[in-house]
């Protein structure tokens, strides 16, 4: 095989530029959901800081990406002393105190390692006798593991699938990142990637062996992207055979991106989002196809499993990958999921939907307070069983986001942003008018003035997504079955009661314990105590 690094990078650049916007979207999905490309932003400071009392300590940890591998090779030559970067120190000293994300964030940041963070979480739970919270942490850890395997890793393979197809088909849809879900290979691919991850973790204990195996197993996600029916053990064998004699060459190719990595850090990651990450992914897909051709030409032991001929045709006749080209057919859509979410909602139905979700929101918050503190609290500024912020948010996402309903990912992010604007402005208005707080996210991970936080916005974003595509259409169908006169009567009664409640609560808002006593409550600390590792 004639390995030409410049040609591989040139072909990769051509490939991603022809499908630029979709490549950016795919890489953003891989960045935020699968955790890929993260090391790119810290390649100049591959350090993890843990803080104990007044002392800050920088510890180097190998990262499972190209930047981390470069650092590993450098460590093999000699220990490189790192200066304490102010940004890293601020990051390390940041400790949110409330919420599930805060627990996970502090557990991992205190140890600098996901596995060690989980073990430290369990250790802290047992010796602190916090069994109730411990169960929640264990469940959260299990959910995180499930997310890692069957969402993060599966989408990572799906991203490779998109890259492989877009080499030849310049109108490849971003939906191809979800191909493993369409063909029902999520569990199989997740378990195959689990084997790949476990093998790498075990080899990392040998340091040098870990670096070698990192490159030896590098093509596993691409192999599974081509044929998800290949099991993990076989995929590893194929990758090892493909990479024989090319591990060092791949390292050199990745090292050639060092200048881009430096510029990426200087641009605070923006270069990575809009150029470097797509460039690297497209280049690596070219590497895989070159190694694949070499493997098939040399009659590799498992070359018969790499049989997707549509990935390597000289000139694509169509703009998209042929619908019947993939050997594994997509699973037929379930009938109960065939919901018309692009419908238009009438004013009468929107009024009723407003009250339904205002009441659902009230039940949600009352139930949470009842489970946490064991007492019933009438949440909200009003006295009726409704929280208008939930109803208003629902109506606004149904009305304002209608043009984007066919773009699911964009709809989710827009709904999350819209919920943040509604929640922040409502909190600001209430504090200005009544000089009291009806909610306070202080201590939560990435909160803004205690009015909104990342954890809450993600929950609201997912809730709005479910409302737009499932709940609202189903409720609209149920409402349509009732006589119009009955609907008008119900709407008029609810509007009258709501207006009376609004007038009264404007001058006599609902206040009291569990409602507006945030300023008098000490912040509860749920995060894990830090542990110093020498």
Instruction: Measure the CA–CA gap between 111 and 49, rounded to whole angstroms.
Output: 9
φ/ψ of residue 357, rounded to 5: -80, -25
Residue 255 domain-assigned (yes or no): yes
Instruction: Measure the CA–CA gap between 260 and 263, rounded to whole angstroms.
Output: 5
pLDDT at 322: 85
Of 288 and 442, which is predicted with more confidence? 288
CB 200 within 8 A of CB 215: no
Instruction: Measure the CA–CA gap between 215 and 246, rounded to whole angstroms.
Output: 9
Averaged pLDDT score across all residues of the chain: 80
Of 480 and 34, which is predicted with more confidence? 480
pLDDT at 516: 80
pLDDT at 73: 38
Residue 75 domain-assigned (yes or no): no
Average pLDDT value for residue range 488-495: 95
φ/ψ of residue 47, rounded to 5: -135, 155
Same domain, 29 and 147: yes
Q: How far is CA 83 from the centre of its chain?
A: 31
Average pLDDT value for residue range 35-49: 50
φ/ψ of residue 69, rounded to 5: -70, -40
Instruction: Measure the CA–CA gap between 65 and 244, rounded to whole angstroms.
Output: 20
Same domain, 404 and 484: yes
Query: Per the structure block, which two tokens stand in for 460?
Result: 């609201």
C-alpha distances in Å from residue 29, one per residue of 35, 177, 276? 9, 9, 15
Average pLDDT value for residue range 357-375: 84
Residue 382 domain-assigned (yes or no): yes
**pLDDT band at residue 389 under the 50/70/90 scheme:** very high
Residue 321 domain-assigned (yes or no): no
pLDDT at 394: 95
**pLDDT band at residue 57 under the 50/70/90 scheme:** very low
Of 425 and 93, which is predicted with more confidence? 425
Q: Is it the case that residue 76 has pLDDT exceeding 70?
A: no
Instruction: Measure the CA–CA gap between 513 and 502, rounded to whole angstroms.
Output: 21
DSSP readout, 51-111?
EETTEEEEEE---SSHHHHHHHHHHHH-PPP----HHHHHHHH----BSHHHHHHHHHHHH
Same domain, 374 and 284: no
Same domain, 306 and 343: no
**pLDDT band at residue 98 under the 50/70/90 scheme:** confident
Average pLDDT value for residue range 367-393: 86
Same domain, 224 and 354: no
Same domain, 302 and 348: no
Same domain, 210 and 352: no
Instruction: Indicate the pTM of the whole model.
Output: 0.54
Residue 512 domain-assigned (yes or no): no
Same domain, 397 and 485: yes
Residue 212 domain-assigned (yes or no): yes
Of 374 and 319, which is predicted with more confidence? 319
Same domain, 354 and 264: no
Same domain, 138 and 258: yes
**pLDDT band at residue 398 under the 50/70/90 scheme:** very high
pLDDT tens track for 431-457: 998 888 888 888 888 888 889 998 889
Percent of the chain with pLDDT strictly greater than 90: 48
pLDDT tens track for 165-185: 999 888 898 989 999 998 999
Query: Per the structure block, which two tokens stand in for 445?
Result: 């991970």
Find the range with the poorest average confidence among 115-129, 133-147, 324-338, 405-419.
Answer: 115-129
pLDDT at 292: 95
Same domain, 140 and 246: yes
Q: Is it the case that residue 46 has pLDDT exceeding 80?
A: no
**pLDDT band at residue 529 under the 50/70/90 scheme:** very low
Find the range with the poorest average confidence among 106-120, 196-210, 361-375, 515-529.
Answer: 515-529
Same domain, 32 and 116: yes
Residue 491 domain-assigned (yes or no): yes
pLDDT at 270: 87
Of 114 and 419, which is predicted with more confidence? 419
Q: Exposed e or buried b for every residue in 94-122, given b needs 16+ CB within 10 A?
A: ebbbbbbbbbbbbbbbbbbbbebbbebbe
Task: State the residue range of the domain holding 292.
Answer: 5-37+87-311
Residue 331 domain-assigned (yes or no): no
pLDDT at 522: 47
Query: Per the structure block, which two tokens stand in for 514?
Result: 């569990």
pLDDT at 532: 33
pLDDT at 71: 41
* Residue 387 neighbours by CB under 8 Å, 6+ apart: 358, 361, 362, 365, 379, 380
C-alpha distances in Å from residue 433, one per residue of 379, 426, 452, 470, 500? 18, 11, 19, 36, 19
Q: Exposed e or buried b for every residue in 61-87, given b needs 16+ CB within 10 A?
A: ebbbbbbbbbbbeeeeeeeeeeeebee
Query: Per the structure block, which two tokens stand in for 270?
Result: 């923006």
pLDDT tens track for 315-351: 666 788 887 777 776 655 554 445 788 899 999 999 9
Find the range with the poorest average confidence among 135-144, 253-262, 389-398, 475-484.
Answer: 135-144
Find the range with the poorest average confidence among 242-251, 257-266, 437-446, 523-532.
Answer: 523-532
**pLDDT band at residue 123 under the 50/70/90 scheme:** low
Q: Is it the case that residue 425 has pLDDT exceeding 80?
A: yes
Average pLDDT value for residue range 242-257: 95
Q: Which pairs with CB-CB distance under 8 Å and at least 24 residues apart come from 67-75?
A: 67/39, 67/40, 67/42, 67/43, 67/261, 68/39, 69/211, 69/214, 69/215, 69/251, 69/254, 70/43, 70/254, 70/255, 70/258, 71/43, 71/46, 72/207, 72/210, 72/211, 73/211, 73/251
Task: Give the 3-state secondary structure of 276-342.
Answer: HHHHHHHHHHHHHHHHHHHHHHCCCCCHHHCCCHHHCCCCCCCCCCCCCCCCCCCCCCCHHHCCCCC
Q: Is it the case that residue 146 has pLDDT exceeding 90?
A: no
Which of 298, 256, 312, 302 shows the shortest CA–CA distance to 279? 256
**pLDDT band at residue 251 under the 50/70/90 scheme:** very high
CB 278 within 8 A of CB 30: no
pLDDT at 317: 62
**pLDDT band at residue 527 under the 50/70/90 scheme:** very low
Average pLDDT value for residue range 142-150: 83
Instruction: Count up the domains in the chain and report the number.
Output: 2
Q: Is it the case that residue 41 has pLDDT exceeding 50?
A: no
315-319-320-322 Cα dihedral, nearest 10 degrees: -60
Handedness of CA 141, 146, 147, 149 (dihedral sign): positive
């Amino acid at each position: 095989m004639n390995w030409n690094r410049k040609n591989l990078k040139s072909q990769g650049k051509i490939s991603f530029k022809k499908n630029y916007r979709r490549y950016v979207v795919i890489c953003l999905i891989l960045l935020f959901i699968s955790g890929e490309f993260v090391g790119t932003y810290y390649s100049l400071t591959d350090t993890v800081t843990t803080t104990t009392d007044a002392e800050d300590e920088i510890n180097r940890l190998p990262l499972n990406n190209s930047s981390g591998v470069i650092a590993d090779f450098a460590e093999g030559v000699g220990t490189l002393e790192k200066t304490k970067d102010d940004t890293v120190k601020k990051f390390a000293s940041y400790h949110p105190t409330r919420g599930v994300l805060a627990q996970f964030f502090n557990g991992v940041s205190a140890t600098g390692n996901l596995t060690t963070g989980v073990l430290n979480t369990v250790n802290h739970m047992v010796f602190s006798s916090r069994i109730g919270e411990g169960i929640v942490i264990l469940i959260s850890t299990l959910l995180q593991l499930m997310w890692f395997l069957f969402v993060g890793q599966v989408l990572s393979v799906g991203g490779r699938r998109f890259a492989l197809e877009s080499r030849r088909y310049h109108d490849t849809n971003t939906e191809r990142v979800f191909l493993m879900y369409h063909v029902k290979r999520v569990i199989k691919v997740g378990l195959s990637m689990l084997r790949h991850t476990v093998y790498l973790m075990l080899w990392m204990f040998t340091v040098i062996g870990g670096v070698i195996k990192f490159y030896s197993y590098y093509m596993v996600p691409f192999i599974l992207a081509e044929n998800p029916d290949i099991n993990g053990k076989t995929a590893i064998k194929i990758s090892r055979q493909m990479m024989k004699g090319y591990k060092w060459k791949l390292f050199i190719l990745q090292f050639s991106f060092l200048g881009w990595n430096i510029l990426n850090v200087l641009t605070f990651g923006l270069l990575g989002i809009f150029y470097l990450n797509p460039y690297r992914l497209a280049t690596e897909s070219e590497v895989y196809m070159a190694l694949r051709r070499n493997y098939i030409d040399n009659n590799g032991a498992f070359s018969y499993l790499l049989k997707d001929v549509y990935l390597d045709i000289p000139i694509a006749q169509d703009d998209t990958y042929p619908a019947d080209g993939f050997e594994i057919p997509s699973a037929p859509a379930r009938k109960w999921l065939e919901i018309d979410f692009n419908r238009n909602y009438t004013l009468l139905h929107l009024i009723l939907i407003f009250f339904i979700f205002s009441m659902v929101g009230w039940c949600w918050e009352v139930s949470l307070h009842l489970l946490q503190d064991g007492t019933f609290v009438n949440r909200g500024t009003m006295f009726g069983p409704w929280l208008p912020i939930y109803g208003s948010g629902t109506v606004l996402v149904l009305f304002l986001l209608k043009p984007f309903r066919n773009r699911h990912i964009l709809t989710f992010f827009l709904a999350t942003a819209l919920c943040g604007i509604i929640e922040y402005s409502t909190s600001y208005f209430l504090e200005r008018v009544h000089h009291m707080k009806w909610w306070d996210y202080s201590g939560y991970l990435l909160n803004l003035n205690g009015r909104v936080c990342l954890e809450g916005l993600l929950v609201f974003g997912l809730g709005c997504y479910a409302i737009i595509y499932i709940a609202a259409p189903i409720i609209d169908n149920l409402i349509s079955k009732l006589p119009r006169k009955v609907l008008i009567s119900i709407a008029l009664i609810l509007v009258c009661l709501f207006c009376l409640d609004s007038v009264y609560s404007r001058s006599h808002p609902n206040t009291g314990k569990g409602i507006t006593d945030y300023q008098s409550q000490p912040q509860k600390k749920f995060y894990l105590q830090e542990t110093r590792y020498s």
